[in-house]
Structure 1
């Protein structure tokens, strides 16, 4: 395995994953990464660069799709052997790009080690130990019987009909979503679903408003589709509606049940006003309900889509948090107008979600095992959330604040002091603790908030959560980030 030293520029208009993709592509094409050399794992490289795993995963997926790397089962990604003429062509293209763009400075937020953190509070991990592997394997074996050989083909462009029926029933029961199976489009992960959605929207939408902090993959998609993106200030009960009214946007992106990453919930009053805005402007609301199953206090919050009587809300969901991101199963619920557009023309994708995984998920839901698994995981994550809250209260002084702890698989830790986020992240890394700056998710860089880091807890045991927080507090005290 080799070390990679890309120069990533957060201030560039180009998405981080595209910068990383171009760097690795050029290194392979130039022979600086020799053929058959293993690339660092997604986890290792994201920790080393101080970025989330999403840009690394997207860059690797692009390299794999274009044949610059090969995947070896249970081993990783390896640089491919390239045709000499192809390598020369890419080097020439890369040289032209370098002459047009000035060199980028190094990222400020990079880990101090290239090995995985002992305590990684990165967002996106789930409790793999609790996954019902035996049940899933048994159901998948049914999918591989000769009578199901059709699953070895591409599958339905919109997703397998039987799975869409199960999703529609599940969403109505769990999230109040009102839809028919025919409105659902199955995707291969949230970014794939959003990419498809933005293709459908781009002839209607020149300007999209958005919460001022979003997942980095969503940020990359905004740039890829070149929307005029208007960030909306976040208040204690969600987006600032006055800024939305003044934005001139034809669509808005929100995470109303659990804002990512700040964790607030869009209030009932703002929900109704947001729907009224969409109705009057004939605008669309993109509702990303990425972890709506996991709420730990108060009553479950129905989806925004459940209140929509005018076909203005597009609902986006995923099975990645409830199951595992490895299966790459997500879904869109399209309003009638966008569904008609989807069906009336060919878009740039075949169905990328595996028909085998789709049928396995369908059987898992049909048997009732999925519902039982979600209830079990809600309890598991509730205990982990509590362990994290107690650990922070025990290890840190009163000068820290925990934000967004009522639901989901992460919270934010805000530390009041003279240091900045970069110093906090680096100090934690030296103690073997991976924490991630909240500012990286902001659409506009300026912010006067105290250093704030994201702590994801889904993939850590309760013991590791407590130990990780203890090491984090020690790093903060030893580096003067706060003092008891």
Structure 2
């Protein structure tokens, strides 16, 4: 099967994706099944390792596969009853439920599902293919092509002292791969890393697998992060790195105030703590943000990571890192990972930045997200009423809800799976067992399901899940 010789207007990763779907669907047992390694599949299908990783990342986001540290990727058969999957790792059960046909996945955080740039991106790519015939297309540089790295550097530059160069930008096949490299280069095993909490489960799992000592900075009752708690942890726990969001928190949708940002920046400077800023939701605040934490901290102790996918859509899954330090080990690790990314697609993304089309898209996406959040808020009031409490999100595609009654949230999760609906239990967003009464719901859904009926079923599941 020589995909590189395929003359159809299809992309290699799409062919790999379809091949993997067929392979997964052939699974006939009830146990988990190990899938071929990245290198094995690359050799079998005659494509680059990054193409295989790209396809695997799409499958993982869809819940069709999941990864196990130092072991590889696994798939579970679709056959069988969802309700029977009641044991094992909770995240694994969520992935299994999400990949089944006919499921309404309300656990996801996919803002671009409402408005993506997939079509414009592919149109630009076709135009670029004509300008750059295949024989003239160089292999991508290990850290990404210069045009896209320069575009990102310019976008994050705010002043002569807070500036980035193209050589400070590193682009990988997906966010997981980029973060794995960063954790390895920083040698974080055994180190104390403070993360805002609730925190994305991908980040938590990567840190745990690397042996990092994760210290959570939980939101208070008002849904905000208390700088006083940060100071206590910095003073007593020897925190070397703080991993914080650039915009309103991933799960809660609430932001640090300007005063709190200044206080946090001062504390990080006082205790010589590095900031690793999570900018994956950058630009998705309903009201455009003009001041970020990275603009206040010491630029000599700052790194930023993000991806294109949250804002652009699944056709732009690449992750990237901005770092003015550790250039030699970072370049070496990116070279060893062999991220042979499509130079044409990277150029297409760069043109979206240069033309201003991406900024216009962000403006449009923020409006749509805000409208969907308002519509979901009305539905929550109508169907869940006093069963949940929450603070209206200021950004993103999700609501962070808390049950007003003590419930077994795992039971609620399982009952909703039986109704073909996937929610995200709050405990997935913590490493210390926090948020047992919380769950996350997406409002960025375009579906044939009746959300009103689904929320009525959720209200019933919360009632059935009450303790005692």
TM-score class normalised by the smaller sequence: 0.7 to 0.9
Aligned-residue offset at 1:368: 2.4
Contact 1:237 1:264 in 2 (8 A): yes
1:350-361 matches, cutoff 5 A: 350-361=338-349
Which one of the candidate residues 249, 269, 279 is aligned to 1:289? 279
Shift of residue 225 of structure 1? 2.2
Displacement of 1:253 after TM fit? 1.4
1:43 CA displacement: 12
User: Gapped runs of 5+ residues in structure 1?
Assistant: 7-22, 29-40, 47-51, 70-75, 79-103
Structure 2 residue 201 is matched with structure 1 residue 192: no
Find 1:406's aligned residue among 378, 394, 408: 394
- Please, which of 298, 305, 313 is the counterpart of residue 309 of structure 1? 298
TM-score, with structure 2 as normaliser: 0.74
CA contact (8 A) 1:205 1:250 kept: no
Is the CA contact (8 Å cut-off) linking 2:254 and 2:393 kept in structure 1?
no
1:168 to 145, 153, 170: 153
* CA spacing shift, 1:42–1:211, aligned 2, 3 Å: same
Give, in whole Å, the separation in 2 of the partners of 1:171 and 1:436: 32
Correspondence for 1:237: 224
Residue 314 of structure 2 corresponds to residue 328 of structure 1: no
- Cα shift at 1:463: 7.5
Structure 2 spans left out of the alignment, 5+ residues: 1-24, 38-54, 79-85
- 1:473 equivalent in structure 2: 459
For these two proteins, the number of residue pairs brought into alignment is 408
Shift in alpha-carbon separation, 1:151–1:282, aligned structure 2, 3 A: farther
Name the CA shift for 1:346/1:375 in 2 (closer, same or farther; >3 Å): closer
For the residues of structure 1 that align with 2:419 and 2:387, how far apart are their CA atoms?
21
Instruction: Report the TM-score when normalising by structure 1.
Output: 0.72
Rate the CA distance shift 1:209–1:57 in 2: closer, same or farther, 3 A: same
Written as runs of structure 1 = structure 2, the 5 A alignment for 1:313-462 is 313-334=302-323, 336-339=324-327, 341-343=329-331, 348-403=336-391, 405-445=393-433, 447=434, 451-461=437-447
Q: Tell me how far apart the structure 1 counterparts of residues 335 and 320 of structure 2 sit (CA, whole Å).
A: 16
Residue pair 2:194, 2:215 contacting (<8 A) in 1 also: yes
In structure 2, the residue matched to 1:82 is none
RMSD (CA atoms): 4.0
Counterpart of 2:276 in 1: which secondary structure?
strand
CA distance 1:145–1:465, change in 2 (3 Å): same
Shift in alpha-carbon separation, 1:106–1:397, aligned structure 2, 3 A: same
Q: Quote the Cα distance in structure 2 between the aligned partners of 1:205 and 1:178.
A: 32
Distance 1:283 1:150 in 2: 48
Q: Does the 8 Å CA contact 1:232/1:244 hold for their aligned counterparts?
A: no
In structure 2, the CA distance between the partners of 1:116 and 1:435, relative to structure 1 (3 Å rule), is farther
Distance 1:245 1:465, change over 3 A: farther
Equivalent position SS for 1:115: coil
Q: What is the CA distance between 1:388 and its match in structure 2? A: 0.8
1:83-138 CA-to-partner distances (Å, cap 9, x unmatched) read xxxxxxxxxxxxxxxxxxxxx96346847977345432122334547334543232
- Partner SS state of residue 325, structure 2: helix
